[in-house]
Amino acid sequence: MPESALILNPAAMQRALTRIAHEIAERNESGGEVVIVGIQRGGVPLGQRLGGLLAGIWGHAVPTGSLDVSMHRDDLDRRAAPHVQPTVIPFDVTGKTVVLVDDVLFSGRTIRAAMDALNDFGRPRCIQLAVLIDRGHRELPIKADFVGKNVPTAPTERVRVRLAEMGGADEVVIEK
């Protein structure tokens, strides 16, 4: 049984997301040009929550979609094929400010794959990145614009984000 420590409880997670939403609003005065794309799987419910929070701030719905990056990964040669989840982007991304959302930022390779995948849907005006947890150990020059919590980790540790939408207790734990 791996040793695990709680990093965020449900209340702390909600506060972090609320703060991120306000940071996104502060950075993007024109809310009409912002769309949210959550990365499968953990980024999708987080993206939906952020979409709801931003709708509350701006007073209008924020287009929210989901993006699966399995087909764009750089490690398809060295692992069994990943399970492919739905990609649903029912709006045009060209000219928009796309806020990519993921649960944990680690090596940065998922985000690289996400930007490649997003490129096939259009040409955003710009892409910003919101993550709940940044655990360090970047292998590519990629940085989050909005971070819920910075968590220094050892490479062998695992950060688990257990969202209520996916049957979890709405918490973040780190496992040794």
Partner 1 sequence: MSWHRKHLLDIESLTAEEITLVLDTARAFKAVGERAIKKVPALRGKTVVNLFVEPSTRTRTSFELSEQRLSADIVNFNTEASSLKKGETLKDTARNLEALNIDFIDIRHSASGAPHFLARVLNASVINAGDGAHEHPTQALLDAFTIREKKGRIAGLNVTILGDILYSRVARSDIWALTKMGAKVTLCGPSTLVPRVFEQMGVRVTHDVEEAIRDADIINLLRIQHERQRKAAFPSLGEYTSLFGLNQARLARTKPDALIMHPGPINRGVEIDSAIADCDRSLVLQQVTNGLAVRMAVLFLVNGGKGPQEVAP
Which residues bind to partner 1, rule: CB under 8 A?
A: 68, 70-72, 76-77, 79-87, 116-117, 120-121
- Asked if 47 contacts 101 with a C-beta cutoff of 8 angstroms, the reply is yes
Residues forming a β-bridge with 127? 98
What is the closest distance, in whole angstroms, from the C-beta atom of residue 138 to partner 1 in the complex? 22
DSSP 156: T
Q: Where are the alpha helices (DSSP H) in 40-157?
A: 43-58, 109-119
What is the closest distance, in whole angstroms, from the C-beta atom of residue 76 to partner 1 in the complex? 6
What is the closest distance, in whole angstroms, from the C-beta atom of residue 90 to partner 1 in the complex? 12
Torsion of CA 160, 109, 48, 144, to 10 degrees: 90
Complex with partner 1: residue 22 or 109, whichever CB lies closer: 109
- Tokens in use for 15? 């506060």
What is the closest distance, in whole angstroms, from the C-beta atom of residue 63 to partner 1 in the complex? 17
Complex with partner 1: residue 5 or 84, whichever CB lies closer: 84
Complex with partner 1: residue 120 or 175, whichever CB lies closer: 120
Q: How many angstroms separate the CA atoms of 47 and 63, rounded?
A: 10
Complex with partner 1: residue 60 or 79, whichever CB lies closer: 79
